[in-house]
Amino acid sequence: MKLLKIRYKTSLLSLIFLGILICGFFATSVSASPNYQLTLAKGTDVLTVNQYDDSAWKATVNASTNPSFWFEGDANITGANSKETILGWNDNTWQTWDVFTSLFMSEYFSFEDLITLLTIMNNIGYNETTINTNYTGNYNLWFGVRAVWNFTKGPYPEQSSYTEGVLVFRDPVDVKTMLDDYKTIAAELNGNLFIQLSGLSFPNLTADDFLWQLALNGLAVGSPQSGYLAELVNELGCQDASSIGNTLIFNRVGVTNYTVEISYGKKGTISTFIVKDISEDIIFQITSTNEEWIFFLILMIIGACGVGLVVYIIFNKRRPKK
């Protein structure tokens, strides 16, 4: 009887602990994101230039550039590879100042110009405190870090070419607010005499420009990707960008009209990048692959060998000895 009671108590305790664990797990995932889930995973993806037609690029996109303008290294050579390793991420909350400096200013100004502008802004009362007081938006995001090896035809160098941020905004609606705040602040600053005297000005960005810049500079998407991309495009009110499934499509104008299709894989990062001309012929294509399946294959082989060994040992032990 006593033993039964002890067993009952142990089972009850185990159930309670299990319940707490499961509740905690669900609570974490529920509180983590009301709409979209993060699917980033640590690991390495290899980007390969599958196709590049230089003459078509020059006749369609830009006569004086090549894909290296968008992707650093030998991106203009078919068969060149680049490598990206997601190192980790954390939950972050950006305020308007962080968005203004990290997303916009660092993108459109050189380091020297950035310092000049920040100094002027500080002197005319546009510093972190005032901007964050006047524009009270808080933006939740998963901020990841990745190491990138530039495109190369040969072996990769030991150290990565650079590390950069990977941004997954928890709520795509935030991106619209960010752009609106930027436009307001930029208009105010462009009207300031000191900024005008410096010879610098904040660019007037459209939603399409902003999304294009984000897509090229570390935007990753939450899951489900199709819903995330659709909401992103709709909220921004893009004119020349649309989404179909997990693909973002940009209608751009270079020498002639062309489209850029960026597909996002299950990790939420770029899986394919395709540039097409008006007649839908591919000018440039990058695809992403990884070797994780080999790891799982090896694990399966090891597991199968282990099971086989155990079965063999058991079978051998049970067999009556002659």
Partner 1 sequence: MEGDEEMARKNGNFIGIKPIFYTLGFELKKQRKKFYFFLFIAILVAILVGYILQLIPGFLLSVTQAEFYENGLQFISFLTLFAACLFFSGIICSEFDKKTGFIVFPKINKYKLILGKYLGNLILVVIIVTAFYLMLALFGFYYYGGPINIRLFYSYAVALLYVIALSSFVTFFSSFMRSVNLTIISTLIILLIGFNIADQIVTLVFGDTFEPLYSLAYLGSLITGILQSPFPDPRYVEFSFSGSGMGPFGGGGEFTFGQWITPTITMGLLLLVVNIVFFFLLAALKFKRRQL
Contacts with partner 1, residue ranges (CB under 8 A): 40, 42-44, 46, 83, 85-90, 145, 147, 158-160, 163, 290-292, 294-295, 298-299
Per DSSP, the chain holds a count of helices (H) and strands (E) of 11, 9
Q: Which is nearer to partner 1, 63 or 298 (CB)?
A: 298
The nearest distance, CB 259 to partner 1, in angstroms, is: 31
The 10 Å Cβ neighbour count of residue 262 is 22
- 224 cis-preceded (ω within 30 degrees of 0): yes
Cβ(130)–Cβ(189) under 8 Å? Answer: no
The nearest distance, CB 165 to partner 1, in angstroms, is: 12
The nearest distance, CB 149 to partner 1, in angstroms, is: 10
Locate tokens 């979209």: which residue?
36
Instruction: For residues 93 and 139, give the distance between their C-alpha atoms in angstroms, rounded to a whole number.
Output: 5
Instruction: For residues 208 and 225, give the distance between their C-alpha atoms in angstroms, rounded to a whole number.
Output: 19
Q: Which is nearer to partner 1, 281 or 291 (CB)?
A: 291
The secondary structure of residue 219, as a DSSP letter, is B
The full length of the chain comes to 322
The nearest distance, CB 19 to partner 1, in angstroms, is: 23
Cβ within 8 Å of residue 228, ≥6 positions away: 36, 172, 221, 222
The nearest distance, CB 245 to partner 1, in angstroms, is: 27
CA angle in degrees (0–180, nearest 5) for 174-90-235: 15
The nearest distance, CB 242 to partner 1, in angstroms, is: 32
Specify the pairing of strand 43-52 against strand 270-277.
unpaired
Instruction: For residues 146 and 89, give the distance between their C-alpha atoms in angstroms, rounded to a whole number.
Output: 9
Q: Which is nearer to partner 1, 194 or 295 (CB)?
A: 295
State both tokens at 61.
């996109």
The nearest distance, CB 28 to partner 1, in angstroms, is: 12
Q: Which is nearer to partner 1, 90 or 136 (CB)?
A: 90
Cβ within 8 Å of residue 243, ≥6 positions away: 226, 229, 230, 232, 233, 249
Q: Which is nearer to partner 1, 25 or 194 (CB)?
A: 25
The nearest distance, CB 184 to partner 1, in angstroms, is: 34
Q: Which is nearer to partner 1, 88 or 203 (CB)?
A: 88
Cβ within 8 Å of residue 258, ≥6 positions away: 60, 61, 252, 275, 276, 277, 278, 283
Q: Which is nearer to partner 1, 55 or 90 (CB)?
A: 90
Q: Which is nearer to partner 1, 255 or 297 (CB)?
A: 297
